[in-house]
């Protein structure tokens, strides 16, 4: 009997069993959705998807909706606590910050966060070429260890250059640990990884997607970019490793981003964060005073604090500091991000600030690299424009910077975009600065970028074609995972 004949003979039985299985799968998935999703709109959206799209809806929730309670993330929480006990990292109290910003410092430190540190120096990079030169110089000067973690790491000429630098460091006796996201760096060649390993370095993927223990968790990614050299110099921000970040990819054109080089006690926070991720990925608990050197004198005058968040905890420190900073604004809120898909609370905070007379400006990209989040963002632009906010689109190329500036006195810079994916799903890291000089430097760059941007006219935007509105409405339905 052929397959077709079997189906023709037993199609009624097959249909009945399929219906029964679908009812069972749908019922169990709905219970799962209601148990996990605390936000009402997210619960409704997933419930409708599961009900209206048989089998596929349940699979999509399994793939994209099951976020925080996955076993590997619970295990990461447990390992994080164990790791901190093993390493006995300094838990000194935060240094005083201006009274107005004390709440932001407490929010960032809440739930095993990092303290505010004094005596730091920071240098910003807005283009790939000078940043890559600084990174390679730091790796070349390493004496004890190089810790490097990126979301995207290409196998192109840039990737090969960094692999050679890491391998050279390993050959001269430097401890090299290289961590990469298994989705973001999916095209990282085994040849380059072997080159690092044969030189004596170590490498590991974060949440390998094909590992059955991780249940195809494609939705939970490590979006952090951290480089720590000898525990004394650290880099973090928006740049990854690849030709496009030098402006050499025609799809993106000129690449505008924000990265930073840090020296001082704040480096210990980024060091600890990297080693926590490394511990989770490899099981190796790295400890020793050489990873947390003492500073005999200040490296600068900047008050800085590491702010980290991820799906391994319910408390989202970056999101909370963003919200509190916007609510506290009295004069201006300047935001740069390629993606703008915030939750309702952050949208309300921005609109409230704009309605109360605060100068709210949002700088984003003009030519999208990803259409779905771009269309979803346009759906929410109307709310901000109607409230009196200003939206600008950067013309020269790809705007990839991620920072929030408030009243010329406070800044948060790092890897987190202003969207649900960064604030709820990804592992991210920012640094917040309680420093007027640092904030003013970023404001100067922001104004320079505005001079090369086009402002979105509220009336013109309101008259956009109905077809565009339909696509925007459709795209915003995916907001929980964008």
- What is the three-class DSSP state of 258? coil
Query: In terms of C-beta density within 10 A (0-12 exposed, 13-18 middle, 19 or more buried), how is residue 282 classed?
Result: middle
Report H helices in 200-316: 267-282
Tell me, yes or no, if 287 is annotated catalytic: no
In sequence order, which residues have a C-beta less than 8 Å from that of residue 299 and are 6 or more positions away? 119, 120, 121, 263, 264
Name the maximum alpha-carbon separation found in the chain. 84
Pairing of strands 418-419, 340-341: parallel
In sequence order, which residues have a C-beta less than 8 Å from that of residue 72 and are 6 or more positions away? 207, 213, 214, 217, 280
Tell me, yes or no, if 370 is annotated catalytic: no
Among 407, 419, 435, 449, the active-site one is 407
Tell me, yes or no, if 147 is annotated catalytic: no
- What is the three-class DSSP state of 147? strand
Cα–Cα distance, 327 to 329 (Å, whole number): 6
- What is the three-class DSSP state of 392? strand
Among 195, 203, 225, 279, the active-site one is 225
Closest CA to 404 of 316, 322, 329: 322
In sequence order, which residues have a C-beta less than 8 Å from that of residue 8 and are 6 or more positions away? none
Measured CA angle at 410 (ends 406, 411), to 5 deg: 85
Tell me, yes or no, if 294 is annotated catalytic: no
In sequence order, which residues have a C-beta less than 8 Å from that of residue 140 and are 6 or more positions away? 165, 168, 169
Buried b (16+ CB within 10 A) or exposed e, 288-321: eeebbeeeeeebbebbbbbbbbbbbbeebbbbbb
Among 126, 145, 400, 449, the active-site one is 400
Closest CA to 173 of 137, 199, 134: 199
Cα–Cα distance, 398 to 386 (Å, whole number): 26
Pairing of strands 259-263, 226-229: unpaired
**Residue 244 has what DSSP assignment?**
G
| R_g of the chain, CA atoms, integer Å | 24
Tell me, yes or no, if 37 is annotated catalytic: no
CB-based contact 192:160 (threshold 8 Å)? yes
Among 37, 147, 230, 259, the active-site one is 230
- What is the three-class DSSP state of 143? coil
Among 76, 223, 259, 279, the active-site one is 223
Tell me, yes or no, if 230 is annotated catalytic: yes
Among 76, 147, 316, 402, the active-site one is 402
What residues form DSSP beta bridges with 205?
180
Calculate the CA 55 to chain-centre distance.
31
| Neighbour tally for 433: CB within 10 Å | 28
Q: Which residues are catalytic?
A: 223, 225, 230, 400, 402, 407
């Amino acid at each position: 009997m052929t397959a077709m004949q079997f189906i023709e003979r037993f199609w009624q039985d097959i249909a009945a069993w399929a219906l029964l299985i679908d009812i069972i799968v749908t019922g169990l998935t709905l219970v799962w959705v209601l148990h996990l999703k605390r936000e009402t709109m997210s619960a409704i959206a997933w419930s409708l998807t599961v009900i209206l799209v048989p089998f596929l809806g349940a699979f999509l929730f399994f793939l994209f909706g099951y976020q925080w309670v996955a076993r590997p993330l619970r295990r990461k929480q447990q390992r994080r606590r164990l790791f901190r006990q093993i390493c006995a990292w300094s838990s000194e109290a935060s240094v005083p910050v201006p009274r107005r910003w004390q709440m932001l410092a407490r929010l960032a430190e809440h739930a095993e966060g990092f303290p505010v540190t004094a005596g730091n120096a920071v240098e910003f990079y807005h283009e790939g070429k000078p940043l890559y030169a600084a990174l390679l110089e730091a790796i070349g000067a390493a004496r004890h260890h190089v810790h490097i973690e990126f979301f995207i790491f290409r196998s192109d000429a840039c990737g090969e250059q960094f692999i050679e630098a890491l391998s050279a460091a390993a050959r001269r006796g430097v401890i090299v640990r290289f961590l990469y996201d298994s989705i973001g760096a999916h095209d990282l060649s085994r040849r380059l990884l072997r080159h690092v390993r044969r030189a004596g370095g170590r490498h590991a993927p974060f949440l390998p997607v094909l590992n059955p223990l991780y249940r195809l968790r494609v939705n939970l990614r490590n979006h952090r970019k951290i480089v720590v050299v000898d525990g004394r110099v650290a880099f973090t921000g928006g740049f990854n490793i690849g030709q496009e970040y030098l402006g050499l990819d025609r799809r993106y054109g000129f690449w505008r981003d924000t990265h930073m080089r840090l020296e001082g006690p704040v480096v210990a926070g980024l060091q600890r964060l990297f080693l926590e991720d490394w511990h989770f990925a490899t099981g190796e608990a790295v400890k020793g005073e050489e990873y947390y050197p003492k500073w005999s004198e200040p490296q600068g005058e900047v008050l800085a604090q590491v702010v980290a968040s991820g799906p391994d905890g319910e408390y989202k420190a970056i999101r909370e500091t963003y919200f509190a900073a916007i609510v506290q604004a009295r004069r201006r809120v300047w935001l740069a991000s390629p993606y703008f898909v915030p939750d309702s609370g952050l949208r309300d905070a921005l609109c409230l600030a704009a309605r109360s007379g605060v100068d709210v400006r949002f700088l984003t990209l003009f030519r999208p690299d990803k259409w779905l989040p771009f269309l979803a963002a346009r759906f929410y632009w109307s709310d901000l424009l109607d409230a009196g906010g200003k939206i600008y689109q950067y013309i020269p190329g790809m705007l990839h910077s991620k920072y929030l500036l408030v009243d010329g006195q406070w800044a948060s810079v790092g890897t987190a975009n202003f969207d649900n994916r960064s604030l709820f799903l990804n592992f991210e890291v920012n640094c917040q600065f309680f420093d007027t000089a640092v904030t003013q430097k970023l404001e100067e760059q922001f104004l320079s970028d505005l001079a090369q941007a086009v402002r979105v006219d509220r009336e013109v935007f309101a008259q956009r074609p109905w077809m565009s509105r339909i696509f925007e409405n459709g795209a915003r339905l995916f907001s929980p995972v964008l």
